[in-house]
A and B are shown apart, each in its own frame.
Chain A
Amino acid sequence: KAGVTQTPRYLIKTRGQQVTLSCSPISGHRSVSWYQQTPGQGLQFLFEYFSETQRNKGNFPGRFSGRQFSNSRSEMNVSTLELGDSALYLCASSSWGGSSYEQYFGPGTRLTVT
């Protein structure tokens, strides 16, 4: 079974631009979560999508948005990029596995804002 894939792996953008990141979950997984990882703030939850609906949301400004498609693939968008948005963006897919709600993470997209 293929793992979670994220594209692109690396991205360099300029302040003020916008960016779209993509995540393909493990086949059969309907829940996709997004996280931002930085050295200073650690892993922070952005949002979670389940069956094309945002089910949970973290404490990020409205510049951060996402969506999920009918095939469970998900995208997240960051508009009006700021230097502080430089981070590793991780996507995780999950499916109830009976006794655990195990999340599988992708390798992440490394975003650098200059």
Chain B
Amino acid sequence: GESVGLHLPTLSVQEGDNSIINCAYSNSASDYFIWYKQESGKGPQFIIDIRSNMDKRQGQRVTVLLNKTVKHLSLQIAATQPGDSAVYFCAESSTGGFKTIFGAGTRLFVKA
């Protein structure tokens, strides 16, 4: 069946270091991928997205990489800050109609 999974359930990094969160997806038909951040007591918040015709997209302190060959997605956070501590979800969807499949989530801890 369709699934989007994460390799690491938890990640602990030192403040100022770079963080890398990985994700695997299984649906080759997905053409749109998104990363969300969820803080305690809140709904997921959009971070960055990428379409399948791209390999890399950069935002403010974040970069998403897409490797369609191995169906792998990663989120890189530069100079990680305590405010980045949250659960991060990758998600796959299609731009033709909106069914989004979420991964299990990775909890990021940032040590001051």
Contacts and interface: CB of A to CB of B under 8 A. Distances in A.
Interface of A: 4, 31, 33, 35, 42-45, 48, 50, 55-58, 90, 92, 94, 100-108
Given A107-B42, A108-B43, A45 B34 contact: no
Q: Which of the four size classes fits the interface of chain B?
A: 20 to 34
Interface of B: 32, 34, 36, 41-46, 49, 89, 91, 93, 95, 97-105
Contacts of B44: 43, 90, 92, 103, 105
A60 to B, nearest CB: 12
Contacts of B98: 31, 33, 48, 50, 55-56, 94, 101, 103
Contacts of B97: 48, 55-56
A92 B102 CA distance: 13
